[in-house]
Every structure is written in structure tokens, then in C-alpha cells.
Amino acid sequence: MEIEAVQKAWLRIFPPVLTAVLAIVINLLTDEFTWLLGLAFVVVLTVQIIVDFRAGQPAAGVPAATPRSARSVPAFLRSRRVWTMTAASVLAFAVVVLAGLVQARWKSFPEETHTAHAVGDTKPKCPGPATGSYAIAVGAHSNSPPPPIPPELIIRMVEGLNGDERASIVRADGSPSLIKRLNYSHEAHRSESLQNRLAASNQFIIEVAAAIDGVRADSAEAAPLAALSLAAREAGKGGAVVLLDSGLQTVAPLDFRKGFITTSPMEISTWLKENRLLPDLRERTVLLAGLGDTAAPQPSLDEALHADLVAIWQQIVKDAGASCVSVVAEPAMGTTLSGLPPVGVVPLPRTPSLDLSCRPSTFAAASAIGFVGDSTTFRNPSAARTALQSIAGEIIARNRPVTITGTSSTSGSSAQQMALSLARANAVESELVRLGVPVKLINSKGVGTDFPGFVEDTDGAGHINPAVAGQNRGVILQLSC
């Protein structure tokens, strides 16, 4: 009897539960929330009630011998069977509605969490500007190929044309400036002739593309951060900001020649924010293209450095308040344009070898053995292991003692600096021991900021400059002769 009761109870809740499961599965597979599937619960419940009633099945609480005519509709609706079915359907319906609301809320989050586009993916990841205003900063300067016109930008502009569009072109050189404003023809857009409207939209796109292609640097160096700020003001709230640039800035405050490229994106963005140097990108969408694309004499970035640079600009744009951020992955190609003002070369990080003449060898944040911010985590564990493997081989071959001296920036108290620097030395020691260096040959110590190569890493306002601090964060290795 108990088994039969369980079976009957399961038959009561099976249809609405099955409908709920199907709705959730379809929702996940299609990435869409279908309200009609939710309404299907009501249909399932209604049909089941009608079928049961018409079939003459006695409701719970109504004797089986009771004539069919005595089983009134009100009595049937008051039965435990109907109320169980109703409760199960309502509960399942609520689950799927809640899932849909959570998914809708997730989709409404800003786009800063999106990763870079896959090559060939031109589907816009950010919506077109609500105001129809575009501000495009073009970095046509030395040391980088001609900036490409992202297909995503063209698609956005074509899909969003409504007669209110305008495009501002900003020159992103060492001293960014506004060089042109273009407006879409209102009259042509309102034309009843489809041919006239298409001709007007095509003409607008052609004019924007020609304006981008015609930009040339007018002053030395590159300042994409300032160009972003100018473009943001030009676009206004609700507008779209586009940066077509390599991202290798060569002027203050974000001069990548000072070591920013190996610095934590969060540290850089926080430092800019503390000094009120972030552009105001609130209520604006941002499209980044050409990041990390270089031309001679600027050395090309490897995959890891390219990813680091993209992450830095994404973090800056996110913390500047952008409502949506999209990165175009397609690389810019070609050689640098001729006859342009010079741009400084950003030196790429290199790892020094162990000095075999018993002089100290410094491995700072920019080296393969560099650490992430104020931590003992290697910035690139794989690169650190490779570099230390070579060093371990030298130590073992010569059977000489080595001293590992950990160092730190001025972040934190003196006690914290000493503890962190010692922990860094111990991290290197552990890796060397794992690679076969006898423990008896290693002497590890931490000195905090008390070492000959220390560089003052705070600015006038007392904030730590992350690029300079990176020169103090590391280890010094010295063989004993």
C-alpha cells in the first residue's frame, strides 16, 4: 500500500516536474529564456485536472462508490490530488522563472568580463551607442602598423544608423587632438526612398573609414591614455569610444619604457585612480583594437606580454567606469608609416644570467624570476622554472655556495617588508633545491628595502609607483668565490 501511494504521488507531480526540466534544458541549450514553456505548466495542470475529472477518477477524500454526478467540480477541485498537482506545478514554474530572471540579470552585467574576440569573430560584443555618438582615437604613429578599421565597428555603425550618428576622429600621438567631426545625413535617413537611405549610410561609413585611414601623427611619442580621455569627452555619456592603437604609451604617467608592461594591471589602474589620472568612461562603451601590435624598430611582443598588455588596458577601462568593454583580437599588419615623428622603443623584459665572476645578479619584477606585486608568487611560473633550471645547473657544476637575497618595495611596514623579502628568497631556494641544488650550498636572507640597488618608488603624493616598485621587488643571487 505504501508503494502504491508513492506511485500515485509521483504520478501527480511527474507532468509539471517533467515540464520544468524540459524548460530548463531548453533554456540552457538555446541560451534563451522562453516564457511560453513557463506557461506550459498551467496547460499541463489544466489538462490533467480535466482528464481526471472526465475520466471519473475519484478525488482524494471522495468515496469511490459515490455516484459520478455527486462528484461535483467544487469537490474535485478541493481534493488533495488537485492541490498536490497545483503546488508541484507552481513550484516548478517558480524555479524556471527564477532561473530566467537570474540569467537575464547575468546578461545585464557590464561587458568587462568578456574575453578578447576569437580571430574572425566580428559579432559586436557591446551594443551601439545610445546617443549615436562615436569617438575614434587613432594611433597612426611610428613603431606600429597602420591601425586597422575593426569590422565590429563597421557592423555597429551600420546596424545602429538612425539619423543621429556622428563620429569624431582623435589623433592619438604624443599630444592627442581632435581633428575631424563627421555627421550622418538626417535628411537622407528620413527619405522614403530605400535607395537614398542606403546611399547615405554607405557614404557615412566611407567617410569615417577614409578619415581613420588619413590620420597621421603630428607630434613625437604615443599617449593613448590621454587620447582615451579626449575621446571620452567627445563621445559623451551614452556614446562609444574606440581606441585603435598598440597601447605602448611612451609618455608620463604611463610610460611603458619604465617597466609597466610587467606590472600587475590592478596595481597600475589603482595607482592611476589614486592620482586621478583615469579617463572618465562612465556610461560609455569601449572598443579596443590593435593592442600589442608593433612594427620595427619596436620589438614584437610574445604571447605572454601581449596578454599582459591587453589585461592592463582592460583593467584601466573597466576601472574608468566603462559600461561595456570589447577587445578585437585580429592583429594589425604591415610596416610603420614613413615620415612620422619618432616614438621611443619600449624595451622588453629580459632575464640576466647568473654572474659567474661572483658579482651580484639582480632579478627584478621584469625578469623571468619576477614576482607578482607584494607577493611570493612568480609572475610567470613556467618562465621562472626555466630560468632557475639554468642557474641551478651552473651552481651544481661549480659546487659553489650561493647567497639569495630577497628584496621588496616600500609597500607595508618595515617588518612586513623584511618578512616578504625573506619569503621571496625562500621561494627561489625551494625551487633550486627541487632542481637538485644541495641545501648546504644555499644561504637565503631578506633585507626589505635595505640594499644597494634600491630605487625610490613613491611619488610626490606618497603613492607607490608600480613600475618603479617593480625594480625593487625581486631577488639578488651571488656566487661565493
Task: Judge contact between 5 and 80, C-beta under 8 A.
Answer: no
Residue 135 φ then ψ, to 5°: -130, 115
- What local confidence, expressed as pLDDT, does residue 368 receive? 87
> Is the pLDDT confidence value at 51 over 90?
no
Instruction: Dump strand ranges (E) for 185-251.
Output: 240-244
**Among positive and negative, which fits the CA dihedral 157, 335, 333, 251?**
negative
Average pLDDT (298-321) is 94
Average pLDDT (324-331) is 89
CATH topology of domain 361-479: 60s Ribosomal Protein L30; Chain: A; (3.30.1330)
- What local confidence, expressed as pLDDT, does residue 156 receive? 77
Task: Judge contact between 12 and 81, C-beta under 8 A.
Answer: yes
Q: Using CA atoms, how far apart are residues 383 and 391, in angstroms rounded to an integer?
A: 13
Residue 319 φ then ψ, to 5°: -70, -20
Q: Using CA atoms, how far apart are residues 309 and 289, in angstroms rounded to an integer?
A: 12
For residue 186, the tally of other CB atoms under 10 A from its CB is 12
Look-up of cell digits 565590429: 152
* pTM of the predicted model as reported, rounded to 2 decimal places: 0.71
For residue 431, the tally of other CB atoms under 10 A from its CB is 20
Lowest mean pLDDT among 197-201, 218-222, 409-413: 197-201
Grid coordinates belonging to 28: 540552457
Better-predicted residue by pLDDT, 474 or 69:
474
Domain segments of the chain as ranges? 2-108, 113-328, 361-479
CATH topology of domain 113-328: Rossmann fold (3.40.50)
Q: Using CA atoms, how far apart are residues 60 and 441, in angstroms rounded to an integer?
A: 85
Q: Using CA atoms, how far apart are residues 244 and 189, in angstroms rounded to an integer?
A: 28
Average pLDDT (224-243) is 95
Task: State the Rg of the chain over Cα.
Answer: 33
Better-predicted residue by pLDDT, 110 or 199:
199
Torsion angle, CA of 197/198/204/209, rounded to 10 degrees? Answer: 170
Listed residue (78, 227, 216, 213) closest to 148, CA to CA: 213
Grid coordinates belonging to 70: 455527486
Highest mean pLDDT among 50-59, 77-86, 208-217: 208-217
> Is the pLDDT confidence value at 397 over 60?
yes
> Is the pLDDT confidence value at 108 over 60?
no
Residue 108 φ then ψ, to 5°: -85, -5
| 298 three-state secondary structure | coil
Better-predicted residue by pLDDT, 182 or 74:
182
Q: Using CA atoms, how far apart are residues 442 and 434, in angstroms rounded to an integer?
A: 12
- In tens, the pLDDT along 164-183 reads 778 999 999 999 999 999 98
> Is the pLDDT confidence value at 110 over 50?
no
Q: How confident is the model at residue 66 (pLDDT cuts 50, 70, 90)?
A: very low
Lowest mean pLDDT among 184-193, 379-388, 453-462: 184-193
148: left (phi > 0), else alpha (psi -120 to 50), else beta? beta
Grid coordinates belonging to 170: 582623435
Give 349's contacts (C-beta < 8 A, 6+ positions apart): 259, 261, 262, 305, 366, 367, 368, 370
Q: Using CA atoms, how far apart are residues 130 and 479, in angstroms rounded to an integer?
A: 63
- Amino acid at the residue 32: E
Q: Which contacts (CB < 8 Å, 24+ apart) does range 12-15 have?
A: 12/81, 12/84, 12/85, 12/88, 13/84, 13/85, 13/88, 15/44, 15/45, 15/48, 15/85
Q: Answer whether the bond into residue 110 is a cis peptide, omega within 30°.
A: no
Give 278's contacts (C-beta < 8 A, 6+ positions apart): 269, 272, 316, 319, 320
Average pLDDT (79-93) is 63
- What local confidence, expressed as pLDDT, does residue 228 receive? 97
- In tens, the pLDDT along 262-296 reads 898 999 999 999 999 999 999 999 999 999 999 99
Q: Residues 354-365, buried b or exposed e (16+ Cβ, 10 A)? A: beeeeeebbbbb
Q: Answer whether the bond into residue 67 is a cis peptide, omega within 30°.
A: no
Q: How confident is the model at residue 202 (pLDDT cuts 50, 70, 90)?
A: confident
Look-up of cell digits 569615417: 208
> Is the pLDDT confidence value at 130 over 80?
no
> Is the pLDDT confidence value at 64 over 70?
no
Average pLDDT over the chain, rounded to an integer? 80
Crossing angle for the helix pair 265-274 and 303-319, to the nearest 10 degrees: 30
